[in-house]
Amino acid sequence: MTSTIVLEQVSKSFGKKTVLNNININVDAGQIFGLIGPSGSGKTTLVKIIVGMDHPSAGQVQVLHTQVPNLGLLQSIGYMAQADALYNDLTGKENLAFFASLYKLNKESQKKRIAYAADLVELTPHLTKKVQNYSGGMKRRLSLAIALIHDPPILILDEPTVGIDPELRKSIWEEINRLKNNGKTILITTHVMDEAEKCDQLAMVRDGEIISNGSPKDLKNHYNINSLEEVFLKAGGKKHENNRIS
Amino acid sequence: MRTIALVKRVCIQMVRDKRTLALMMVAPLVILTLLHFLLSSDTTTPKLGVNGVEESLINELKEKEIEIIQYDQLKNPDQLIKDENLDAILQLEGDQIDLTITNDDPSKAKVLQTKVLQAISTVNASEQATNLANLVEDIGRQLPNTPIYLPQAKVPEFNTSYIYGSSDTTFFDQLSPILVGFFVFFFVFLISGIGLLRERTTGTLDRLMATPIQRRDIVFGYLIGYGFFAIIQTIIVVFYATKILDIMLVGSLWNVILINLSLALVALLLGILLSAFANSEFQMMQFIPIAIIPQVFFAGILPFEGMPEWMQLVAKCMPMYYGGNALVDVMYKGLGLSDIKNELFVLLGFALVFIVLNILALKKYRKI
Ligand SMILES: Nc1ncnc2c1ncn2[C@@H]1O[C@H](COP(=O)(O)OP(=O)(O)O)[C@@H](O)[C@H]1O
Ligand SMILES: [Mg+2]
């Protein structure tokens, strides 16, 4: 299988503080890859480095065999930030249209994509409302719709289901699976263990290091435990050993 | 294409934000109007208490628009000034002239003092002329058959002509070109700076960096989007100042607009540049006393020639220095485009430098 996202010995420090330490990741095409770890472990920092919004202090990142950062590459990446970055004084539709116009899309497909993305996250009836009147969950959904607006082959979603009710969360995961079946590569971060089960591959992050990685099944088998939560605790306990299992 | 998308968005946001729009369009007019009435209002006639002053001098003083109150005897002039709310007291005793001035407003005091001195010397001159005429007559009577010709002594006629302005010119006339430019500069700075700042603090600027937008697209998008409103504001302010407040405009209106547009351009770029170094609206406000207020001092309100050399260097680093000078040249002195073209070029130079710095400052968000 071809690797879509490759990180080689990536480290990042802010001033003296090391936030990421020697991260190596390989994300295969058509996979759902989960980055799981408690908050503050460095997931967002890692994801921003992959998108090219931040620079690693050391190491290399390649996406689609192209060195990051690269402007052209951003046409192929759909990014959903952890914190909703929306224009509150614009309507949902205006937000979608603005972001759509930043990508190479003709007028016709812009319209189609806006309708598709809004429908997917069930925001169609609220599109003419200003975002400042949206609930937290609606904002998350709009952010997801914006990430999908240009139909990118790679999706990078930073805690996409935070603040979304269980029903919609389920439908979002269904959509993520559907996108995966369409051949898209999806990198998702989460601190919720039960979401980790839904990923094809996992990397457990703690204090800026990957303490364990592999498929959920492999991880559980390796530690002989039934829940990923315990895997996380166990792997974290001996993080100085080599925990690569698959 | 992306620039256009950004321009469109900035415009929608601006039009929806009625308050900011009002601040940009109306606030300069309100301040200009206030200053207009404050600075160009006629000064009140000064009140002068007199003691032992002859009728001729009193008439002369009255002619100079001074209100005269006569006192027969004066014990304590200092107290009297305060009690009667006078501006000054003039006492004559023999050859001794005593003028006591309140001096609560030094510039008014100077004017009053000058007027009193002028009145006294006028009266003296005409007295001397009369004395001389009498003397000549006396001599003529004592020496009959000796023709004596003496040209009639006259108080010389005094004419003042002005190269710029007229005798009616008020402080406001000279100041207003600078004020017009300054308000355009100030409000454009504030609004564009806060506009991009909001984009930074809400995280949308960061989010934009995950799209294929280029840094220069952002700078030009903001430049054109806010520039559009800056143009409207400039035109409103200039027309209001010259047509409604009737501020003195000797030169061409188009040159005034041209200078103000250049100033607005520089202010816009400076605003978005400085917003890169602010984390909140409040921090943006902190730039006002540092980056904006000093400009007004160097814009021509204080005489440039009188400044120490290093201050002159500081002045030459300030866009308002060029803008203010050019505006005074056109509005007050009536000079033409060829006289202000250097100032315009310097302003455009500032704009170019700020564009480049802005594109570089965005590197903080994305290296490419
Ligand atoms: N710009 C920054 N400057 C300094 N420290 C930062 C910066 N961004 C993130 N950090 C620190 O890096 C660590 C990891 O943060 P983050 O990547 O947001 O974690 P996560 O997304 O896993 O919650 C945190 O301790 C955070 O304080
Ligand atoms: Mg995070």
Contact criterion met (CB < 8 Å) for B202 and A85: yes
Contact criterion met (CB < 8 Å) for B12 and A75: no
Note the CATH number of domain B47-142.
3.40.190
The residue of chain A with its CA nearest to that of B11 is A90
User: Cβ(A14) to ligand 1 under 6 A?
Assistant: yes
CB B119, CB B57: distance < 8 Å = yes
Backbone φ and ψ of A69, nearest 5°: -85, 150
pLDDT lower than 50: segments of chain B: none
pLDDT of the residue at B43: 63
pLDDT of the residue at B297: 86
CB A139, CB A80: distance < 8 Å = no
Contact criterion met (CB < 8 Å) for B366 and A53: yes
pLDDT of the residue at A246: 45
Q: What pLDDT, in 10s, does the model give residues B158-192?
A: 777 888 877 777 777 778 888 889 989 998 998 88
pLDDT of the residue at B151: 63
Contact criterion met (CB < 8 Å) for A101 and B13: no
Give 3-state DSSP helix, strand, coil % of chain A, rounded to 5: 40, 25, 35
CB B45, CB B67: distance < 8 Å = yes
Q: What pLDDT, in 10s, does the model give residues B241-273?
A: 888 988 888 889 999 999 999 999 999 999 999
CA A133 – ligand 1 centroid, Å: 29
User: Cβ(A161) to ligand 1 under 6 A?
Assistant: no
Contact criterion met (CB < 8 Å) for A69 and B368: yes
Task: List the one residue out of B276, B273, B268 whose CA is nearest residue B364.
Answer: B276
pLDDT of the residue at A237: 63
From the candidates A57, A96, A103, which should be mutated to test the interface with B, based on the most B CB atoms within 10 A?
Answer: A103
CA A191 – ligand 2 centroid, Å: 9
Report whether pLDDT(A32) > 70.
yes
The residue of chain B with its CA nearest to that of A149 is B211
The ligand minimizing its distance to the Cα of A209 is 1
Output the residue whose Cα is nearest ligand 1's atom 3.
A14
Q: How far is A86 from chain B (nearest CA, A)?
A: 6
- CATH 3.40.190 residue ranges in chain B? 47-142
Residue from A11, A12, A14, A35 to probe ligand 1 pocket by mutation (most atoms less than 8 Å from CB) = A14
Decide if B13 touches A, using CB distance below 8 A.
yes
Paired tokens of A131: 């975002």
For the CA of A15, the closest atom of ligand 1 is 4
Paired tokens of A214: 């592999």
Task: List the one residue out of B194, B183, B219 whose CA is nearest residue B292.
Answer: B183
Instruction: Please give the full DSSP string across B261-280, using - where no structure is assigned.
Output: HHHHHHHHHHHHHHHTT-SS
Report whether pLDDT(A178) > 80.
yes
Contact criterion met (CB < 8 Å) for B203 and A85: yes
Note the CATH number of domain A3-235.
3.40.50.300
Output the residue whose Cα is nearest ligand 1's atom 17.
A42
Q: What pLDDT, in 10s, does the model give residues A105-145?
A: 889 999 999 999 999 888 999 999 999 999 988 999 999 99
Report in angstroms the alpha-carbon separations of B206 from A225, B255, B299. 41, 40, 37
What is the separation of C-alpha B87 from the centre of its chain, rounded to a whole number of angstroms?
Answer: 27
The residues, any chain, with a CB within 8 Å of residue B304's CB and separated by 6 or more, are B298, B312, B315, B321
Q: How many CB pairs under 8 A join A and B?
A: 70
Determine the Cα–Cα distance for residues A121 and A146; give it in Å rounded to an integer: 10
User: Cβ(A208) to ligand 1 under 6 A?
Assistant: no
Task: List the one residue out of B266, B218, B232 whose CA is nearest residue B4.
Answer: B218
- DSSP H helical segments within chain B, as ranges? 2-16, 18-25, 27-40, 55-63, 77-84, 106-142, 171-201, 204-208, 215-239, 253-275, 281-285, 287, 293-296, 309-316, 319-327, 337-361
Collect all residues of chain A within an 8 Å Cβ-Cβ radius of residue B201: none
Output the residue whose Cα is nearest ligand 1's atom 14.
A42
Report whether pLDDT(A102) > 90.
yes
Decide if B163 touches A, using CB distance below 8 A.
no
CA A162 – ligand 1 centroid, Å: 18
Nearest to A53 among B2, B206, B214 (CB): B206
Collect all residues of chain A within an 8 Å Cβ-Cβ radius of residue B204: 85-87
Residue A182, SS3 per DSSP: coil
What number is the average pLDDT over the span A54-79?
93
Instruction: Please give the full DSSP string across B332-343, using - where no structure is assigned.
Output: IT---HHHHHHH
User: Cβ(A190) to ligand 1 under 6 A?
Assistant: no
CA B201 – ligand 2 centroid, Å: 17
For the CA of A191, the closest atom of ligand 1 is 22
pLDDT of the residue at B359: 92
Report whether pLDDT(A234) > 70.
yes
Most distant CA atoms of chain B, gap in Å:
113
pLDDT of the residue at A133: 96
Q: How far is A110 from chain B (nearest CA, A)?
A: 13
pLDDT of the residue at A245: 47
